[in-house]
Amino acid sequence: MLEWLFIERLIISAILGGLIGVEREMHDKPAGFRTHVLICVGAAMFTLLSISVSGTFENPADVSRIAAGVVAGIGFLSAGTIFRDKDRVRGLTTAADIWVLAAIGMSVGFGHYFLAVAATIISLVVLIVGRILDQYL
């Protein structure tokens, strides 16, 4: 029955990643809905695989190594969204939200649903309110 628990976690991560992805897609950002869903599901999947490979939920050694690899890989992926356009740097917010998105996926993978939902809500508030504040500042 562990497989069904893992599938449940993948679905939850897809939903949470999709929520942030819809916001980014609506504003025509470099990483949209599909990218956000795939990043969140991928981070959850790597986390679930690390749990599965370690054999137990209590063995942190293998789990932490794979989690560290996910963080490093996401950093590389995020860097690809940053570019310079004349005198401005663009894509920093997208890079940051991809980084947070991986953490959300990993949280779901580890079964910390409340934390993942809270981070999703906070991220959406920051993205939406931040856009409004940018217009006035």
The yes-or-no verdict on residue 44 having pLDDT over 60 is yes
pTM of the predicted structure, to 2 decimals:
0.88
Q: pLDDT band at residue 62, thresholds of 50, 70 and 90?
A: low
CA distance 69 to 49: 13
Contacts for 15 with CB less than 8 Å, ≥ 6 apart: none
Residue whose C-alpha is closest to residue 50's, from 62, 32, 68: 62
Q: Could you tell me if 128 and 23 are in contact, meaning their C-beta atoms sit under 8 angstroms apart?
A: yes
Q: pLDDT band at residue 27, thresholds of 50, 70 and 90?
A: confident
User: Which SS3 state, helix, strand or coil, does residue 96 take?
Assistant: helix
